Structure 1
Amino acid sequence: MFVNSDNYIKYLKLWLITLFLLIIIMVGVGGLTRLTDSGLSITAWELFTGILPPLNINEWNFYFSEYKKIPEFQNINYNMTLNEFKIIFYWEYAHRLLARIVGLFSFIPLLFFSFKFNNNQFYSNKYYLIFLLVCLQGFIGWYMVSSGLIENNDVSHFRLSVHLTLALFIMCLIFWFILDLFNTKKFKIKISNLLLFFILLLIILQIVLGAFLSGLDGGLIYNSWPDMNGDFFPNDVVINDYLSSQLFYNPSIIQFFHRLTAYILLFFILLLNYQFIKKKLDFKNILFFDFAILFQVFLGIITLMSGAEIKYASLHQLGSIIVLSSYLLILHKNSNQQL
């Protein structure tokens, strides 16, 4: 039984770590798909088809003709050639191929664990939650894409933010399971859960606002820092705009909120650092998170001042993964419970 248990934990660790890395890659490719405006190049869901890319000119012409029917081509890319279409097609194809791989890899090993180790004392069905969330993510991905196929030139930034947030939630869940399996050492003296939870909410809010900005192309305006073209507030909006029902459709206001949330977040992170000093906790436990936050702020500023240049914008999105993971480690060490 001991050897069997040891093998189960070993395989479980390997599976979760690999899945964690696959999710990171998928988020990165998804971000580049958005940044290159490639997400609408495949206009059908193709749940069981489309595994292979077009293999001849007739297949390419079919996909291109379908793309020509949507508003993005008719209103924006009407001069696009077939060779140019192939570039955006391959970005979306790569994203969907990765989604298929993640879907299979989140399920097939679970079947192996269920049949091989179901009598093991450490066996748990809780990992099926990952597979269910991955399936939900697939539905949300198509729900997002469908919002840009009929009336809009692009996908809904609300649906985009849900798609990204769920991907990061799945990643965090997997990472928490990994920390459980490695029996991460806990803090002997606890930090206020209220402070930790509030910082987590701010991080989540910042990610959602970042997704809104990406969906609205809000990084293409007010490309200066710390001011917004010489002012603290955006100068193309008035007070009534902040009270409007169209508030979250205004890229200037979203960018302002994104900046403001960053300042508030930094303040509370300083309070968290003070708690570590006051309670005489090992400061090494927060140094990596501090570095991740500062690096993310740096990437945010560079992304903004470069006019949302793709390489910086992509790194900025991936930086949110480092921030979340390093903060999750602090939350795990402060918790006495396992999932």
Structure 2
Amino acid sequence: MPIPSTAVPPAAVTVPPADRALARNRALIRWWLYGICLLILAMVVVGGATRLTESGLSITEWKPIHGMIPPLNEAEWQEEFDKYRQIPQYQLINKGMSMDEFKFIFWWEWAHRQLGRFIGIAYFVPLALFWLQGRVEPWLKPRLVLGLFLGGLQGAVGWWMVASGLVERTDVSQYRLAVHLTLACVIFAYLFWLARRLVPARRTAPDADRASTPFAKAVLALVLVQIFLGGLVAGLNAGLTFNTWPLMDGQIVPAGLLAMEPAWKNFFENVMTVQFQHRVAAYVLVAAVLVFAWSVLTRSAHAPLRGAAMALGGLVLAQLVLGILTLLAQVPLDLALLHQATAVLVLGAAVEVLVVLKGPVPGGAAAAG
């Protein structure tokens, strides 16, 4: 006769109130951070549209509060237009443009700035509420404050970028644009990392899989480098030149890559070199990701890691195809923005791989990030 089991049925296991409260608080913060990440993704896309439509210099002043109100009558529109007429972009490129044409570029830049303000509010207000309600764990507080600081820094960098095109140039500095784009993506990666670390506990990757963490970090670094190089391409309009693939200017390695003196300038200011290095970095990144994904799929039985590796591999291949199509089509707005958005998704997938390897933050006093 079988002996009756004394084990407690799973349904009868009670979760301590403190653990339930911790899980609820982490879920709230996690979904809030997901929302911020989506807004940053939208900001990157709108910023790309602002660059491609040459709209970024249409508002020549930085007014963090008063700038929220657009022109409300014809006199105010004329005042904004007159300010734009004083800068080199109008005088050398857009001279004679109509008021309707000015309004088109103004609204793009205005929307870009309003979205930035909205992200600031969407971050600060819930953070303050969660903090006052005691929902933020001690280890998480300085990390979320750092996110707030990075957002403020991004706003300052944005104006620093715009200011570069108001005096002697007809567009913004490609150096500053690349920094602005890369910082936005760093903020996205940082907040997405925090959000994904707050997922409920799941099976931790075995030590054998964790040995691949340095390679996964290198892949993440490559993604950020490639985003920076893409910013240089956008800043120089380099995608509008050499619109062939796989050859560039009829060659695998085109002549003239080091035509400028000193040599280092070619990597930031030579249109041919900037596009070529973006291409080469893409090949290196794709190769690195495919090697990593193949290694995971052939050696690991950890389902979350396998899924993350496959997602990263699929996204980076899609991004390669989008980049080629965007180049061949001479950078149409829709393809270019899809290419830019997918870069952020690739970044998110690279972060997810590291999150799976690291595992979730432990609960209670052990929580240390």
Other-structure match for 1:156: 173
Structure 1 residue 36: deviation in Å? 0.7
Q: Within 1, Cα distance between the matches of 2:104 and 2:203?
A: 47
Other-structure match for 1:325: 348
More off after superposition, 226-235 vs 186-195 = 186-195
Helix, strand or coil at the partner of 2:167: coil
1:244 maps to 2:263: yes
Other-structure match for 2:204: 186
Structure 1 residue 142: deviation in Å? 0.3
Structure 1 residue 180: deviation in Å? 1.1
Q: Within 1, Cα distance between the matches of 2:137 and 2:190?
A: 23
Helix, strand or coil at the partner of 2:249: coil
Q: Tell me if the contact between 1:242 and 1:253 (Cα under 8 Å) persists in the aligned partners.
A: no
Matches within 5 A, 1:189-208: 189-208=209-228
Q: Within 1, Cα distance between the matches of 2:234 and 2:129?
A: 40
Structure 2's unaligned 5+ residue stretches are: 1-16, 362-368
Structure 1's unaligned 5+ residue stretches are: none
Q: Within 1, Cα distance between the matches of 2:160 and 2:173?
A: 10
Q: Within 2, Cα distance between the matches of 1:213 and 1:121?
A: 42
Q: Within 1, Cα distance between the matches of 2:358 and 2:185?
A: 20
Other-structure match for 2:164: 147
Structure 1 residue 240: deviation in Å? 4.8
Structure 1 residue 246: deviation in Å? 2.3
Q: Within 2, Cα distance between the matches of 1:240 and 1:63?
A: 41
More off after superposition, 119-128 vs 106-115 = 119-128
Other-structure match for 1:266: 286
Helix, strand or coil at the partner of 1:322: helix
Q: Within 2, Cα distance between the matches of 1:128 and 1:18?
A: 17
Two-structure CA RMSD over aligned residues (Å):
2.0
Structure number with larger C-alpha Rg:
2
More off after superposition, 239-248 vs 19-28 = 239-248
* Offset from partner CA, 1:2-34 (integer Å, 9 cap, x none): 354344223212321211111111111111111
Q: Tell me the amino acid that sits aligned with residue 270 of structure 1.
A: L
Matches within 5 A, 1:16-95: 16-95=33-112
TM-score by length of 2: 0.86
Q: Tell me if the contact between 1:186 and 1:332 (Cα under 8 Å) persists in the aligned partners.
A: no
Q: Tell me if the contact between 1:157 and 1:215 (Cα under 8 Å) persists in the aligned partners.
A: yes
Q: Within 2, Cα distance between the matches of 1:88 and 1:162?
A: 23
Q: Within 1, Cα distance between the matches of 2:183 and 2:204?
A: 27
Q: Within 2, Cα distance between the matches of 1:314 and 1:35?
A: 9
Q: Tell me if the contact between 1:207 and 1:320 (Cα under 8 Å) persists in the aligned partners.
A: yes
TM-score by length of 1: 0.94
Helix, strand or coil at the partner of 1:107: helix
Q: Tell me the amino acid that sits aligned with residue 181 of structure 1.
A: L
More off after superposition, 312-321 vs 13-22 = 13-22
More off after superposition, 148-157 vs 102-111 = 102-111
Matches within 5 A, 1:158-307: 158-183=175-200, 185-188=203-206, 189-235=209-255, 237=256, 239-241=258-260, 244-247=263-266, 248-281=268-301, 282=303, 283-307=306-330
- Residues 9 and 268 from structure 1, CA distance in 2 versus in 1: closer, same or farther, beyond 3 angstroms? closer
More off after superposition, 214-223 vs 328-337 = 328-337
Q: Tell me if the contact between 1:303 and 1:312 (Cα under 8 Å) persists in the aligned partners.
A: yes
Structure 1 residue 199: deviation in Å? 1.9
Q: Tell me the amino acid that sits aligned with residue 190 of structure 1.
A: R
Q: Within 1, Cα distance between the matches of 2:278 and 2:24?
A: 46
Helix, strand or coil at the partner of 2:94: coil
* Offset from partner CA, 1:238-262 (integer Å, 9 cap, x none): 5554862421101110111111111
Q: Tell me if the contact between 1:40 and 1:148 (Cα under 8 Å) persists in the aligned partners.
A: yes
Q: Tell me the amino acid that sits aligned with residue 36 of structure 1.
A: T
Helix, strand or coil at the partner of 1:47: coil
